[in-house]
Amino acid sequence: MQTLHVELGERRYPIFIGSQLDPKQLLEPYIHGQQVMIVSNETVAPLYLSHYQEALKSLGKTIATCILPDGEKYKDIQHLNLIFDALLEAGFNRDCTVLALGGGVIGDMAGFASACFQRGVYFIQVPTTLLSQVDSSVGGKTGINHPLGKNMLGAFQQPQVVLADMAQLNTLPDRELSAGLSEVIKYALLGDAEFLVWLEQNMDGLVGRDADLLAEAVYRSCAHKARIVANDEKEQGERALLNLGHTFGHAIESYLGYGTWLHGEAVATGMVMAADLSQRLGWISSDDVERTKKIIKRANLPISCPKIPLDEFLGYMAHDKKVLNGQLRLVLLKQLGQAVITKDFDVELMKQAILANQHG
């Protein structure tokens, strides 16, 4: 087992990474009250819920569960209310802990619920997908979608602890594994050229579910994110770099309908668009763009999206959270392994980059 820490002063918390982790031993120091609400979904609960229930019962905890439908399209206010209903019906108080057992959607919703319930209760992340292990479970961003934009309602709510168990990736569908690799590739492109070389050397093993390689990818990705979050928890500066590919990607997700494409798939094509625009600005070479496309394709991810009317694509981008004083800011590449957030780009070139990476 490997351990990382997100350094946030008194709110410092560990990320445990390994296979067949012992939840009783690892969770006990981080559950402060008697009551634990486990939030999961209809896919994950049959696989792992009983394991965590038994561990918590052996610690003498009072347990309740809230099982939601599985999918991004359910990350909305109506299904968030089901978590509040479960907490209230169970008679839980301000000393309770909300434990997220699932992927990014469950983590986002359970975290947001824990931030709101009685003005804030304890929160624990047990991410069961690669994407949530390397990205959404770390850093405290929680929230739900709105018809006009992704993650528009939410809160910063740091967990007490994160348990990333590689054994849980064995039940992950291939498509979900690839979606997680999209966020792994993102870390390499935005800040670690050596990690990119490592991914190029090991992508076949990652796609093939080599447990040691996956653990290394999760560790290196979480280490990148932990460092950035420690420096910029509320995304006032450097943390925005973690949105490489996301402004384009969120537009794709919003237009196609939440859940039609997985988040990681949309981000993959978004990173291609960002690389394409960076090349059109003269910042990176065409070879760099091809290298970006190649590593994304090797992860079995899309490098272009279906045709989307440009005005609608731009409309969704205008709702992006990185818009500042009415100006869109993008995360682009100065070189592979070095990203910047900038408003200094030609909008016509951006339109060209969007159109060049659509098909059909």
Mean pLDDT computed over 59-85? 98
256 and 318 share one domain: yes
Tell me what pLDDT residue 259 has.
Answer: 85
Please report which residue ranges of the chain form alpha helices under DSSP H: 23-27, 50-58, 77-89, 104-116, 130-131, 174-191, 193-207, 211-231, 246-256, 263-280, 286-298, 310-318, 347-356
The pLDDT of residue 319 is 82
Which residues belong to the annotated binding site for NAD(+)?
70-75, 104-108, 128-129, 141, 150
What pLDDT was estimated at residue 68? 99
Cα torsion 71, 73, 74, 78 to 10°: value is: 180
Does the pLDDT value for residue 325 go beyond 90? no
Read off the CATH number of the domain in which 228 is found: 1.20.1090.10
Dist. CA 118–CA 126, nearest whole Å: 22
Q: What is the pLDDT of residue 236?
A: 85
Sequence ranges of the binding site: 70-75, 104-108, 128-129, 141, 150, 183, 246, 263
pLDDT of residue 228: 94
pLDDT tens-digit map of 122-179: 999 999 999 999 999 999 999 999 988 888 999 999 999 999 999 999 999 999 999 9
Cα 214 to Cα 202: distance, rounded to the nearest angstrom = 10
Helix, strand, coil content of the chain in percent (nearest 5): 55, 20, 25
d(CA 163, CA 72): 22
Single residue among 136, 171, 206 that ends a domain in this structure: 171
End of a domain among 119, 147, 171?
171
pLDDT per residue as tens digits for the range 251-308 = 999 999 988 999 999 999 999 999 999 999 999 999 999 999 999 999 999 999 999 9
326: pLDDT strictly greater than 90: no
| Residue 97 structural domain | 2-171
Amino acid at 318: A
Residue 324, pLDDT > 90, answer no
**Do 348 and 220 belong together in one domain?**
yes
Shared domain for 282 and 353, answered yes or no, is yes
Q: What percentage of residues in the chain have a pLDDT greater than 70? A: 99
Binding residues for Zn(2+): 183, 246, 263
> Into how many domains does the chain fold?
2
Report the catalytic residues. 119, 141, 183, 225, 235, 239, 243, 246, 250, 263
Spatial neighbors of 265 by CB under 8 A, at least 6 apart, are 175, 178, 179, 182, 301, 302
- Residue 237 one-letter amino acid: G
Indicate which CATH number applies to the domain containing 83. Answer: 3.40.50.1970
In tens, the pLDDT along 25-66 reads 999 999 999 999 999 999 999 999 999 999 999 999 999 999
Whether the pLDDT of residue 322 is over 90: the answer is no
Do 189 and 142 belong to one domain?
Answer: no
> Looking at the structure, do residues 129 and 205 belong to the same domain, yes or no?
no
